[in-house]
Amino acid sequence: MMQTTPRLLSLATAVPPYEVGREDAIRLAHRVFGGRSSHLEHLMPVFTNSGIEKRYSCVPPPWYERAHSWSERNRLFIANALTLMERATLDCLKQAGLGVENIDAIVAVSTSGIVTPSLDAQLLNRIGLRPDVQRLPVFGLGCAGGALGLGRAAALAKAQPTANVLLVVVECCGLTFRASDCSNSNIIATALFGDGAAAALLSCTGEGPAVTAWGEHTWPDSLDVMGWRVEDDGLGVVFSASIPALVRRDFRHALDAFLARHDLSLPDIRSFLLHPGGPKVLAALEDALELRNGTLDHERIILRDYGNMSAATVLFVLHRGLKEMVPGRSLVAAMGPGFTAGFVVLEAS
């Protein structure tokens, strides 16, 4: 009998070439915002309390000190996103022992730039995917995109049990930093966000952790919690200070409802692989899940070494978690604009 349970066959990550350390980011913030923001000194502890020691950028740090147009930012996004997507995809396929000709469908997730034809079409031409490959570009999921994209890819694989489905997630968050924006949200984003990409291969044929459940929850009347404002010189970040409180108050209820729909409950989950939005969000998640403080160590290590790469981050956490995955169920989860939580259950034997 043909298997119809999607499996995660391989997963690879990629980061751009410029490493930005914590002290580099602090000095850059002073040069960019110093003398123009009355809130800067009040916000500077975010850089030291973020838990981030370094992250990666697709442009050198001096780039952030100059003004840039929306069109320039987007050109850089397209060029760098495709480079990162290609690296992650080829590494992912190499791990699985497959070639680009073996890909039947591609799900491409990103929210930090806009391109038509979409990133998946651009990648098709760049690396030589088959012309009949099915394409699903996904925009606007923000930090939730890694978990929700994994669910979308699993659904495609389940619907076509012989297909190999490629998920590619890429974010160049640094390109959205705008020196003209002295808002608290933009300065906090400067302290948290970095660039990165991940690629995962799913199929019902092959070996790997089974993807047994996926779903999401969007809170009503929460559109102002997180997102973008389109400005003349780029995308302006919308980032509510209420996010940790919302997570602490409401995340558990949404998760319990998702698990119940799949005849599961929290004690059935052996490990968690969550999007580390920041240290306050991680603390709120531990409270919501009744975990001992510091339990989410994979998340803190990824945050420390890469920063918050929006949608790609949870796949970096998953990549690390796969190296130590023990038999049982793991929950992959992330939250982003909507305000939405995405959930995926993996089962390792």
Residues with catalytic annotation?
Answer: 143
Give the closest residue to 189 by CA, choosing from 50, 72, 27, 283.
50
Give the closest residue to 58 by CA, choosing from 207, 168, 197, 223.
197
Distance of alpha carbon 176 from alpha carbon 74, whole angstroms: 9
Count of C-beta atoms within a 10 Å radius of residue 349: 7
Q: Is 132 exposed, middle or buried (0-12, 13-18, 19+ CB in 10 A)?
A: exposed
> Residue 237: beta bridge partners?
228
The two structure tokens encoding residue 4: 């119809």
Residue 257 in contact with residue 315, Cβ under 8 Å?
Answer: no
- Counting Cα atoms < 13 Å in the Cβ hemisphere of 295 gives 16
Read off φ and ψ for residue 33, nearest 5 degrees. -105, -15
Read off φ and ψ for residue 219, nearest 5 degrees. -75, 130
What type of residue is 334? A
Close Cβ partners of 148 (under 8 Å, ≥ 6 residues apart): 109, 138, 141, 216, 334, 336, 340, 342
CA-to-CA separations, 90 to 12, 13, 31, 207, 299, in angstroms, rounded? 9, 10, 38, 19, 25
Read off φ and ψ for residue 132, nearest 5 degrees. -95, 10
What type of residue is 280? K
Close Cβ partners of 155 (under 8 Å, ≥ 6 residues apart): 214
